[in-house]
Structure 1
Amino acid sequence: MKQQIVQNVGELPTYGFGPRSGPWWGAMSFMALEGMGFAIAVGAYLYLYAVNPTWPIGASPPDLWPGSVETTLYLLSIIPNQYTNRVARRHNLRKVRVCLIIMSLIGIVLLVLRGFEFAHLNTRWDNSAYGSVVWLILSLHTTHLATDLGDTIVLTVLMFTSHAKPRRFSDVTDNVFYWNFVVLAWLPLYILLDWVPRL
Protein backbone atom coordinates (compact mmCIF):
# COMPACT_ATOMS: atom_id res chain seq x y z
CA MET A 1 0.00 0.00 0.00
CA LYS A 2 1.36 3.40 -1.03
CA GLN A 3 1.49 6.11 1.53
CA GLN A 4 0.72 9.62 0.34
CA ILE A 5 2.08 12.54 2.31
CA VAL A 6 -0.11 15.61 2.18
CA GLN A 7 0.52 18.85 3.94
CA ASN A 8 -1.67 21.89 4.16
CA VAL A 9 0.41 24.85 2.99
CA GLY A 10 -2.42 27.33 3.23
CA GLU A 11 -0.88 28.96 6.30
CA LEU A 12 2.51 29.59 4.69
CA PRO A 13 3.31 33.24 3.90
CA THR A 14 2.65 34.36 0.33
CA TYR A 15 5.63 36.73 0.26
CA GLY A 16 9.00 37.21 1.91
CA PHE A 17 11.81 39.67 2.30
CA GLY A 18 15.27 39.51 0.74
CA PRO A 19 16.30 36.10 -0.67
CA ARG A 20 12.91 34.65 0.31
CA SER A 21 11.32 36.91 -2.31
CA GLY A 22 11.19 36.04 -6.02
CA PRO A 23 11.51 39.68 -7.16
CA TRP A 24 14.67 40.01 -5.01
CA TRP A 25 16.33 37.32 -7.13
CA GLY A 26 15.13 39.09 -10.26
CA ALA A 27 16.72 42.31 -9.01
CA MET A 28 19.95 40.42 -8.25
CA SER A 29 20.05 39.05 -11.79
CA PHE A 30 19.26 42.47 -13.21
CA MET A 31 22.10 44.02 -11.18
CA ALA A 32 24.53 41.32 -12.33
CA LEU A 33 23.71 42.08 -15.97
CA GLU A 34 23.97 45.83 -15.39
CA GLY A 35 27.22 45.37 -13.51
CA MET A 36 28.67 43.60 -16.55
CA GLY A 37 27.53 46.47 -18.73
CA PHE A 38 29.32 48.92 -16.45
CA ALA A 39 32.43 46.70 -16.44
CA ILE A 40 32.56 46.66 -20.25
CA ALA A 41 32.10 50.44 -20.48
CA VAL A 42 34.73 51.07 -17.79
CA GLY A 43 37.08 48.66 -19.57
CA ALA A 44 36.64 50.64 -22.80
CA TYR A 45 37.34 53.89 -20.94
CA LEU A 46 40.51 52.51 -19.32
CA TYR A 47 41.71 51.05 -22.62
CA LEU A 48 41.32 54.41 -24.35
CA TYR A 49 43.02 56.10 -21.40
CA ALA A 50 45.99 53.71 -21.68
CA VAL A 51 46.54 53.99 -25.45
CA ASN A 52 46.18 57.77 -25.79
CA PRO A 53 49.15 59.97 -24.87
CA THR A 54 46.88 62.81 -23.78
CA TRP A 55 43.72 62.41 -21.74
CA PRO A 56 41.07 63.66 -22.13
CA ILE A 57 41.25 63.81 -25.91
CA GLY A 58 40.57 67.30 -27.26
CA ALA A 59 38.71 68.49 -24.17
CA SER A 60 39.24 69.73 -20.66
CA PRO A 61 38.18 67.54 -17.70
CA PRO A 62 34.53 67.74 -16.62
CA ASP A 63 33.62 70.47 -14.14
CA LEU A 64 33.74 68.95 -10.68
CA TRP A 65 30.76 70.56 -8.99
CA PRO A 66 27.84 68.62 -10.56
CA GLY A 67 29.35 65.19 -9.94
CA SER A 68 30.56 66.15 -6.47
CA VAL A 69 27.16 67.48 -5.41
CA GLU A 70 25.55 64.33 -6.80
CA THR A 71 27.98 62.09 -4.95
CA THR A 72 27.26 63.88 -1.68
CA LEU A 73 23.51 63.51 -2.22
CA TYR A 74 23.88 59.84 -3.17
CA LEU A 75 25.80 59.14 0.05
CA LEU A 76 23.29 61.08 2.17
CA SER A 77 20.39 59.23 0.49
CA ILE A 78 21.58 55.99 2.11
CA ILE A 79 20.18 57.24 5.44
CA PRO A 80 16.51 57.62 4.39
CA ASN A 81 16.85 54.59 2.11
CA GLN A 82 17.91 52.31 4.96
CA TYR A 83 15.20 53.79 7.19
CA THR A 84 12.70 52.95 4.44
CA ASN A 85 13.91 49.36 4.56
CA ARG A 86 13.45 49.23 8.33
CA VAL A 87 9.90 50.63 8.40
CA ALA A 88 8.85 48.47 5.42
CA ARG A 89 9.93 45.32 7.26
CA ARG A 90 7.79 46.50 10.19
CA HIS A 91 4.80 47.05 7.85
CA ASN A 92 4.50 50.68 8.99
CA LEU A 93 2.42 52.07 6.13
CA ARG A 94 2.42 55.71 7.25
CA LYS A 95 6.21 55.89 7.56
CA VAL A 96 6.75 53.94 4.33
CA ARG A 97 4.61 56.48 2.48
CA VAL A 98 6.66 59.39 3.85
CA CYS A 99 9.95 57.63 3.09
CA LEU A 100 8.93 56.80 -0.47
CA ILE A 101 7.98 60.44 -1.09
CA ILE A 102 11.39 61.53 0.25
CA MET A 103 13.22 58.98 -1.91
CA SER A 104 11.20 60.07 -4.97
CA LEU A 105 12.18 63.70 -4.37
CA ILE A 106 15.83 62.71 -3.96
CA GLY A 107 15.68 60.85 -7.27
CA ILE A 108 14.15 63.85 -9.03
CA VAL A 109 16.83 66.19 -7.65
CA LEU A 110 19.54 63.76 -8.76
CA LEU A 111 18.09 63.60 -12.27
CA VAL A 112 18.12 67.41 -12.46
CA LEU A 113 21.74 67.43 -11.26
CA ARG A 114 22.55 64.79 -13.86
CA GLY A 115 21.32 67.20 -16.52
CA PHE A 116 23.80 69.77 -15.23
CA GLU A 117 26.50 67.12 -15.23
CA PHE A 118 25.92 66.34 -18.91
CA ALA A 119 26.09 70.07 -19.64
CA HIS A 120 29.42 70.36 -17.78
CA LEU A 121 31.25 67.39 -19.31
CA ASN A 122 33.11 69.86 -21.54
CA THR A 123 32.86 67.48 -24.48
CA ARG A 124 30.18 66.30 -26.87
CA TRP A 125 29.44 62.62 -27.41
CA ASP A 126 30.66 62.88 -31.03
CA ASN A 127 33.76 64.99 -30.29
CA SER A 128 36.19 62.09 -29.80
CA ALA A 129 36.52 58.58 -28.41
CA TYR A 130 36.83 60.21 -24.99
CA GLY A 131 33.55 62.08 -25.44
CA SER A 132 31.79 58.95 -26.66
CA VAL A 133 32.86 56.73 -23.76
CA VAL A 134 32.14 59.40 -21.14
CA TRP A 135 28.65 60.01 -22.50
CA LEU A 136 28.08 56.23 -22.71
CA ILE A 137 29.03 55.62 -19.07
CA LEU A 138 27.03 58.59 -17.79
CA SER A 139 24.02 57.58 -19.91
CA LEU A 140 24.15 54.01 -18.57
CA HIS A 141 24.07 55.22 -14.99
CA THR A 142 21.36 57.78 -15.79
CA THR A 143 19.22 54.93 -17.13
CA HIS A 144 19.57 53.12 -13.80
CA LEU A 145 18.79 56.27 -11.86
CA ALA A 146 15.68 56.94 -13.96
CA THR A 147 14.58 53.28 -13.71
CA ASP A 148 14.79 53.30 -9.94
CA LEU A 149 13.05 56.67 -9.72
CA GLY A 150 10.21 55.32 -11.87
CA ASP A 151 9.92 52.24 -9.67
CA THR A 152 9.93 54.38 -6.52
CA ILE A 153 7.21 56.68 -7.85
CA VAL A 154 5.03 53.71 -8.85
CA LEU A 155 5.48 52.14 -5.40
CA THR A 156 4.66 55.48 -3.77
CA VAL A 157 1.41 55.73 -5.71
CA LEU A 158 0.51 52.09 -4.93
CA MET A 159 1.08 52.63 -1.21
CA PHE A 160 -1.57 55.38 -1.26
CA THR A 161 -4.17 53.09 -2.88
CA SER A 162 -5.95 49.86 -2.05
CA HIS A 163 -2.94 48.02 -3.51
CA ALA A 164 -0.98 48.73 -0.29
CA LYS A 165 -1.15 45.08 0.70
CA PRO A 166 1.45 43.39 2.96
CA ARG A 167 3.22 41.97 -0.11
CA ARG A 168 4.02 45.53 -1.28
CA PHE A 169 6.29 46.04 1.72
CA SER A 170 8.53 43.35 0.26
CA ASP A 171 8.54 45.29 -3.04
CA VAL A 172 9.65 48.38 -1.12
CA THR A 173 12.61 46.53 0.40
CA ASP A 174 13.59 45.26 -3.07
CA ASN A 175 13.50 48.86 -4.29
CA VAL A 176 15.74 49.87 -1.38
CA PHE A 177 18.15 47.11 -2.36
CA TYR A 178 18.30 48.33 -5.96
CA TRP A 179 18.88 51.93 -4.85
CA ASN A 180 21.92 50.76 -2.88
CA PHE A 181 23.24 49.31 -6.14
CA VAL A 182 22.66 52.60 -7.96
CA VAL A 183 24.62 54.45 -5.25
CA LEU A 184 27.47 51.93 -5.09
CA ALA A 185 27.77 51.83 -8.88
CA TRP A 186 28.09 55.61 -9.00
CA LEU A 187 31.03 55.96 -6.60
CA PRO A 188 33.74 54.39 -8.84
CA LEU A 189 32.19 56.06 -11.89
CA TYR A 190 32.49 59.45 -10.20
CA ILE A 191 36.21 58.86 -9.63
CA LEU A 192 36.66 57.56 -13.18
CA LEU A 193 34.80 60.38 -14.93
CA ASP A 194 35.71 63.37 -12.75
CA TRP A 195 39.13 62.59 -11.27
CA VAL A 196 40.97 60.26 -13.68
CA PRO A 197 41.08 63.00 -16.39
CA ARG A 198 42.89 65.20 -13.83
CA LEU A 199 45.71 62.70 -13.20
Structure 2
Amino acid sequence: MSARAAELSGGSTARAGNEVLLEPEGPSNEWLGMVLFIVSEAVMFGALFAQYFYNRILSDEWPNRTGLPAGFDRVPAFPLPVILTLVLVASGFSAHWAQSAIRRDDRDAFQGWMIVTILLGLAFLGGQAFEYTNLIVNEGFSISSGIYGTVFFSLTGLHGLHVTAGVIVLSGVLIRAFLGHFSSRSHFGVEGSVLYWHFVDVVWLLLYVTLYAL
Protein backbone atom coordinates (compact mmCIF):
# COMPACT_ATOMS: atom_id res chain seq x y z
CA MET A 1 0.00 0.00 0.00
CA SER A 2 1.40 3.42 -0.93
CA ALA A 3 1.67 6.24 1.58
CA ARG A 4 -0.89 8.17 -0.49
CA ALA A 5 -3.34 5.29 -0.32
CA ALA A 6 -2.87 5.06 3.43
CA GLU A 7 -3.65 8.73 3.81
CA LEU A 8 -6.81 8.39 1.74
CA SER A 9 -7.93 5.45 3.85
CA GLY A 10 -7.97 7.63 6.97
CA GLY A 11 -4.95 6.18 8.79
CA SER A 12 -1.45 7.40 9.54
CA THR A 13 1.60 5.77 8.04
CA ALA A 14 4.82 4.33 9.39
CA ARG A 15 7.71 2.92 7.32
CA ALA A 16 9.27 -0.45 8.18
CA GLY A 17 12.11 -1.09 5.74
CA ASN A 18 10.67 -0.62 2.25
CA GLU A 19 7.11 -1.32 3.36
CA VAL A 20 4.65 1.36 4.41
CA LEU A 21 2.46 0.21 7.28
CA LEU A 22 -0.98 1.60 7.97
CA GLU A 23 -1.59 2.67 11.55
CA PRO A 24 -5.37 3.00 12.04
CA GLU A 25 -6.68 6.09 13.75
CA GLY A 26 -9.67 6.42 16.04
CA PRO A 27 -10.62 5.14 19.48
CA SER A 28 -8.63 2.17 20.75
CA ASN A 29 -10.24 -1.04 21.95
CA GLU A 30 -9.34 -0.05 25.51
CA TRP A 31 -11.24 3.22 25.20
CA LEU A 32 -14.24 1.55 23.63
CA GLY A 33 -14.25 -1.03 26.43
CA MET A 34 -14.10 1.68 29.10
CA VAL A 35 -16.90 3.67 27.48
CA LEU A 36 -19.11 0.58 27.21
CA PHE A 37 -18.41 -0.25 30.86
CA ILE A 38 -19.40 3.23 32.02
CA VAL A 39 -22.52 3.15 29.85
CA SER A 40 -23.54 -0.15 31.46
CA GLU A 41 -22.98 1.36 34.91
CA ALA A 42 -25.01 4.41 33.94
CA VAL A 43 -27.88 2.16 32.83
CA MET A 44 -27.80 0.40 36.20
CA PHE A 45 -27.95 3.67 38.12
CA GLY A 46 -30.61 4.93 35.73
CA ALA A 47 -32.81 1.94 36.57
CA LEU A 48 -32.47 2.68 40.29
CA PHE A 49 -33.27 6.35 39.76
CA ALA A 50 -36.33 5.35 37.74
CA GLN A 51 -37.46 3.06 40.56
CA TYR A 52 -36.98 5.89 43.06
CA PHE A 53 -39.12 8.34 41.09
CA TYR A 54 -41.72 5.65 40.43
CA ASN A 55 -42.08 5.06 44.17
CA ARG A 56 -42.11 8.77 44.87
CA ILE A 57 -44.84 9.48 42.34
CA LEU A 58 -47.03 6.68 43.70
CA SER A 59 -46.66 7.85 47.32
CA ASP A 60 -49.20 10.27 48.75
CA GLU A 61 -46.38 11.98 50.64
CA TRP A 62 -42.60 11.84 50.47
CA PRO A 63 -40.79 10.44 52.25
CA ASN A 64 -43.34 7.66 52.57
CA ARG A 65 -43.94 7.35 56.32
CA THR A 66 -44.45 3.59 56.22
CA GLY A 67 -41.63 1.88 58.09
CA LEU A 68 -39.88 5.07 59.21
CA PRO A 69 -38.75 5.39 62.85
CA ALA A 70 -40.93 7.54 65.09
CA GLY A 71 -39.93 11.18 64.87
CA PHE A 72 -37.73 10.68 61.81
CA ASP A 73 -38.60 12.92 58.87
CA ARG A 74 -35.89 12.54 56.24
CA VAL A 75 -32.12 12.47 55.82
CA PRO A 76 -30.87 16.06 56.25
CA ALA A 77 -29.33 17.72 53.20
CA PHE A 78 -27.00 19.87 55.30
CA PRO A 79 -24.27 20.06 56.50
CA LEU A 80 -22.62 16.66 55.96
CA PRO A 81 -24.01 15.86 52.48
CA VAL A 82 -22.93 19.31 51.27
CA ILE A 83 -19.44 18.74 52.66
CA LEU A 84 -19.28 15.33 50.97
CA THR A 85 -20.37 16.92 47.70
CA LEU A 86 -17.65 19.56 47.91
CA VAL A 87 -15.07 16.88 48.73
CA LEU A 88 -16.02 14.77 45.72
CA VAL A 89 -16.18 17.75 43.37
CA ALA A 90 -12.72 18.80 44.57
CA SER A 91 -11.46 15.28 43.87
CA GLY A 92 -12.75 15.61 40.32
CA PHE A 93 -10.61 18.71 39.83
CA SER A 94 -7.52 17.10 41.34
CA ALA A 95 -8.00 14.03 39.12
CA HIS A 96 -8.21 16.30 36.08
CA TRP A 97 -5.04 18.12 37.12
CA ALA A 98 -3.26 14.79 37.57
CA GLN A 99 -4.34 13.79 34.08
CA SER A 100 -3.16 17.10 32.63
CA ALA A 101 0.20 16.72 34.39
CA ILE A 102 0.99 13.31 32.89
CA ARG A 103 0.00 14.58 29.45
CA ARG A 104 2.87 17.06 29.70
CA ASP A 105 5.22 14.55 31.39
CA ASP A 106 5.19 16.37 34.73
CA ARG A 107 5.49 13.22 36.83
CA ASP A 108 5.85 14.97 40.19
CA ALA A 109 2.67 16.99 39.71
CA PHE A 110 0.88 13.91 38.38
CA GLN A 111 1.77 11.83 41.43
CA GLY A 112 0.96 14.68 43.81
CA TRP A 113 -2.49 15.34 42.40
CA MET A 114 -3.22 11.63 42.25
CA ILE A 115 -2.42 11.35 45.97
CA VAL A 116 -4.75 14.29 46.67
CA THR A 117 -7.52 12.60 44.67
CA ILE A 118 -7.15 9.34 46.59
CA LEU A 119 -7.16 11.13 49.95
CA LEU A 120 -10.30 13.06 49.01
CA GLY A 121 -11.95 9.80 47.94
CA LEU A 122 -11.08 8.26 51.30
CA ALA A 123 -12.42 11.36 53.07
CA PHE A 124 -15.70 10.96 51.20
CA LEU A 125 -15.97 7.31 52.21
CA GLY A 126 -15.20 8.22 55.82
CA GLY A 127 -17.90 10.87 55.78
CA GLN A 128 -20.41 8.45 54.30
CA ALA A 129 -19.56 5.86 56.95
CA PHE A 130 -20.12 8.51 59.63
CA GLU A 131 -23.49 9.42 58.09
CA TYR A 132 -24.56 5.76 57.95
CA THR A 133 -23.53 5.20 61.57
CA ASN A 134 -25.50 8.21 62.74
CA LEU A 135 -28.60 7.27 60.76
CA ILE A 136 -28.60 3.61 61.80
CA VAL A 137 -27.44 3.86 65.41
CA ASN A 138 -28.83 7.22 66.52
CA GLU A 139 -31.89 7.61 64.29
CA GLY A 140 -32.89 3.97 63.82
CA PHE A 141 -33.10 4.58 60.06
CA SER A 142 -31.80 1.71 57.92
CA ILE A 143 -32.32 -0.07 54.61
CA SER A 144 -35.29 -1.88 56.16
CA SER A 145 -37.05 1.39 57.06
CA GLY A 146 -39.73 1.23 54.40
CA ILE A 147 -39.49 2.35 50.78
CA TYR A 148 -37.54 5.49 51.65
CA GLY A 149 -34.90 3.58 53.58
CA THR A 150 -34.56 0.98 50.83
CA VAL A 151 -34.03 3.45 48.00
CA PHE A 152 -31.77 5.74 50.05
CA PHE A 153 -29.36 3.04 51.20
CA SER A 154 -29.49 1.17 47.88
CA LEU A 155 -28.52 4.22 45.83
CA THR A 156 -25.97 5.72 48.22
CA GLY A 157 -24.55 2.30 49.09
CA LEU A 158 -24.07 1.34 45.45
CA HIS A 159 -22.41 4.67 44.81
CA GLY A 160 -20.17 4.15 47.84
CA LEU A 161 -19.07 0.81 46.37
CA HIS A 162 -18.17 2.58 43.14
CA VAL A 163 -16.17 5.20 45.04
CA THR A 164 -14.35 2.38 46.85
CA ALA A 165 -13.58 0.71 43.53
CA GLY A 166 -12.40 4.04 42.16
CA VAL A 167 -10.04 4.60 45.08
CA ILE A 168 -8.60 1.12 44.59
CA VAL A 169 -8.09 1.71 40.86
CA LEU A 170 -6.51 5.13 41.44
CA SER A 171 -4.21 3.60 44.06
CA GLY A 172 -3.11 1.02 41.51
CA VAL A 173 -2.44 3.80 39.03
CA LEU A 174 -0.40 5.67 41.65
CA ILE A 175 1.71 2.59 42.37
CA ARG A 176 2.37 2.17 38.66
CA ALA A 177 3.24 5.86 38.47
CA PHE A 178 5.92 5.45 41.13
CA LEU A 179 7.28 2.56 39.06
CA GLY A 180 7.54 4.82 36.04
CA HIS A 181 4.88 3.13 33.94
CA PHE A 182 3.28 6.28 32.48
CA SER A 183 4.38 9.00 30.09
CA SER A 184 2.76 11.62 27.90
CA ARG A 185 2.63 9.06 25.08
CA SER A 186 1.42 6.06 27.08
CA HIS A 187 -1.02 6.61 29.93
CA PHE A 188 -4.34 4.94 29.15
CA GLY A 189 -4.52 3.67 32.73
CA VAL A 190 -4.63 7.28 33.88
CA GLU A 191 -7.17 8.36 31.27
CA GLY A 192 -9.48 5.43 31.96
CA SER A 193 -9.37 5.75 35.74
CA VAL A 194 -9.96 9.52 35.63
CA LEU A 195 -12.90 9.06 33.26
CA TYR A 196 -14.39 6.54 35.70
CA TRP A 197 -13.81 8.95 38.59
CA HIS A 198 -15.63 11.74 36.76
CA PHE A 199 -18.52 9.34 36.23
CA VAL A 200 -18.62 8.67 39.98
CA ASP A 201 -18.66 12.44 40.60
CA VAL A 202 -21.56 13.03 38.24
CA VAL A 203 -23.59 10.21 39.77
CA TRP A 204 -23.11 11.69 43.24
CA LEU A 205 -24.31 15.13 42.09
CA LEU A 206 -27.46 13.49 40.73
CA LEU A 207 -27.84 11.56 43.99
CA TYR A 208 -27.50 14.69 46.08
CA VAL A 209 -30.16 16.53 44.10
CA THR A 210 -32.49 13.52 44.04
CA LEU A 211 -32.17 12.16 47.58
CA TYR A 212 -31.23 15.18 49.65
CA ALA A 213 -32.30 18.39 47.92
CA LEU A 214 -35.66 17.49 46.35
Task: State the TM bucket, normalised to the shorter chain.
Answer: 0.7 to 0.9
- Greater C-alpha radius of gyration: 2
1:170-189 to 2 correspondences below 5 Å: 170-189=188-207
The question of 1:43 aligning with 2:50 is answered yes
The question of 1:91 aligning with 2:105 is answered yes
TM-score when normalising by structure 2: 0.77
1:1-199 to 2 correspondences below 5 Å: 20-58=27-65, 59=68, 60-64=73-77, 65-121=79-135, 122=139, 123-161=141-179, 163-164=181-182, 169-196=187-214
Judging changes above 3 Å, is the alpha-carbon distance between structure 1 residues 105 and 125 closer, same or farther for their aligned structure 2 residues? same
Which has the larger helix fraction? 1
Greater relative CO (CA pairs within 8 A, separation 6+): 1
Question: Which digits, 9 at most, give the CA deviation of each residue in 1:100-130, with x for residues without a partner?
Answer: 1111111111110111232355521012122
User: Which amino acid in structure 2 is aligned with residue 192 of structure 1?
Assistant: T
Judging changes above 3 Å, is the alpha-carbon distance between structure 1 residues 164 and 78 closer, same or farther for their aligned structure 2 residues? closer
Shift of 1:92: 2.1
How many residues align structurally? 189
Shift of 1:5: 7.5
Question: Once structures 1 and 2 are overlaid, which stretch shifts more, 21-30 or 140-149?
Answer: 21-30
Runs of 4 or more consecutive aligned structure 1 residues displaced over 6 Å after TM superposition? 4-7, 9-12
C-alpha distance in 1 between matches for 2:194 and 2:58: 39
C-alpha distance in 2 between matches for 1:98 and 1:20: 29
Q: Report if aligned partners of 1:84, 1:173 keep a CA contact under 8 Å in 2.
A: no
Identical-residue share of aligned pairs (%): 22
